[in-house]
Structure 1
Amino acid sequence: MKIAFSSCPNDTFIFHAWVHGLIPGAPELEVTYADIDITNTLAAGSGGPDIIKISYAALPWVLAEYALLPCGGALGRGCGPLVLTSGGAGAAADPKLLSGRRVAVPGERSTAYLLFQLWAAQKVPGGVGEIVVLPFHEIMPAVRDGLVDAGMVIHEARFTYHMYKLNLMADLGSWWEEDTGLPIPLGAIIARRSLDLPALAGWIRASVKYAWEHPEASLEYVLSHAQEMSPAVAQAHIQLYVNEFSENLGEAGYQAVTSLLNRAAKAGLVPKVDLGSGI
């Protein structure tokens, strides 16, 4: 069975047990490791993997072929994307300064960019100027070096942006939570509708539980894919992004996803979708 997910610690931590044949009855996996902007493209094309980690923002375009699984993804509180600038701390706090400016984002169908569009519609008079799509690991250097005026960052950049002497303009996860009272949906796990979806969900849940019960077992695997990330940062990443929603989206999770996509559809940013009640 073919699967595609990122090399980020939360994904490798979650899927370690299944990838290494530790889940009874689960089929062998053939893994493609790719950043979320690449996996979004894989899901949108023909002949994509059986199971894929994608941005929730990309979900409306792939639901004809794929179904949302209720586990294995990234959704939570205090874990949203950040808007960073290189200006002084005082200036960095004023979103109006982004009016007409260049902003780097980690993908046109990333949840980070979708959130940014919803936030900017409220906070940036007249809107921003040019949007520049960059791989997420290039965004902070681009902001630091003045190639863009601001950047949207995700993943472990929450813990490392100070190393680039950057300033926080907005935490879009906090903005979303304050605006809606809901957790923030970031990355979804989807699977081909032709497959046994309840079985897939069961194997993923078993892999999540194994990771929690044997955290030391996945350490070497996680760090080998962590792009020179320190063990401490990798662990902080896992603790932030692997939570109760990783095991089960539940009512609150589905409500958060539905709210995000409905709001985005109303703003004309994504097609309107009906997720149903889940698996």
Structure 2
Amino acid sequence: MAPTPTTPPAPVRSAYGRHPLQHGFLHRAPGAAPRGSIVVIHGGFWRSGLGSGQLRPLAESLAAEGWNAWEIDYRTVGADGGWPETFDDILAAVEHLAVLSRDLRFRPGPVVTLGHSAGGQLAVAAAARLVTGHGDGVRVAGAVSLAGVLDLTQAVKDDLGDGATPGFLGGSPEEAPERYAAADPCTLAEHSSWPVWVRSVHAETDSMVPIAQSVHFTDVARAAGWDADLIPVEGDHFTVVSATDASWRKTLNALGELPTQAGWKPAG
């Protein structure tokens, strides 16, 4: 048997829509049997300014660990985004994996959404929406939140990101209750009819997005029957997205639990 290559192929750029921000880079795992596919979602409090390149080292690390990493960009507030356009882009990008797997002839395996900060909210909300498979049939097996904004009502009370949450959803919870109900991971967990596998990695001394966001979400999700767990780590808001920090190894280890925890089996 030929040895499995250790260097992933060069990333492939692909557009999932017509807007300049509706694109991503697929980092293919080496070998013929990837462990699954991870949709990598950057943060930035849903505002323009950051791009998918922010999390490229994580995507490269995931590919080296045997995962296909679909590192995406999307419309943000200030760049034709907001609600629902930003979230629609996340769903479309996930569904685009069906196109990529067909065109590039690979098995996506279990699909996990992984997001940092505001990207954590997008990752968990997308998993809640797509856990049973919709659209082209891409089923999301679970989500990983890295220092995620997972309690939107509390985020408004704490004014996280200087008004970022009402800026994203077009108002306060009182002004836009239907939008909060559709976007808030805590509310989605409370009202979900299907359990979701979620791991929240959060630094205990994060001053930008307090760990209380992940603590409360995990409590709510567990009470709702989700397979949710909190993984506290050392560092700050950006430590969790450093591919050279020990916290990233904890994230990789958590992903390694996915096949058993979520009822999937690795390819091959």
**TM-score under structure 2 normalisation?**
0.36
Query: Which of these two proteins has the greater Rg computed from alpha carbons?
Result: 1
**Higher percent of residues as helix:** 1
Task: Return the structure number with greater relative CO, CA threshold 8 A, min gap 6.
Answer: 1
